[in-house]
Amino acid sequence: MAQFMDVHRGMKGLTREQLEEAHQADLRLQAEEGVEFKHAWLDPKQGVAFCLSEGPDAEAVRRVHERAGHPPDEIYELPLEV
């Protein structure tokens, strides 16, 4: 398993409820792709969300988000952390 950060842009004004709803949609689908979403953060002023996940590869992470209706703009694999 690898770790990933994906970035969603165009999220200006998203509310806490909308963020939770989007995250729940990911959680409902993630097992089918072998992905586990760990955390999501949102800057509603600049309209950017970050999702931290573990999964087999970036494409599996992308598929969960796409099936949930919010494809990410960027996905980064994170082999190093401190």
Give me the least distance between CB of 48 and a second copy, in Å please.
5
Total binding residues for a second copy by CB under 8 A? Answer: 25
By CB under 8 A, tell whether 59 contacts a second copy: no
Residues 14-53 that bind a second copy (CB under 8 A): 14, 16, 19-20, 23, 39-46, 48, 50, 52
N- to C-terminal Cα separation, the chain: 18
By CB under 8 A, tell whether 5 contacts a second copy: yes
DSSP string, 19-78: HHHHHHHHHHHHHHHT-EEEEEEEETTTTEEEEEEEES-HHHHHHHHHHTT---SEEEE-
Return residues touching a second copy (CB under 8 A): 3, 5, 14, 16, 19-20, 23, 39-46, 48, 50, 52, 76-82
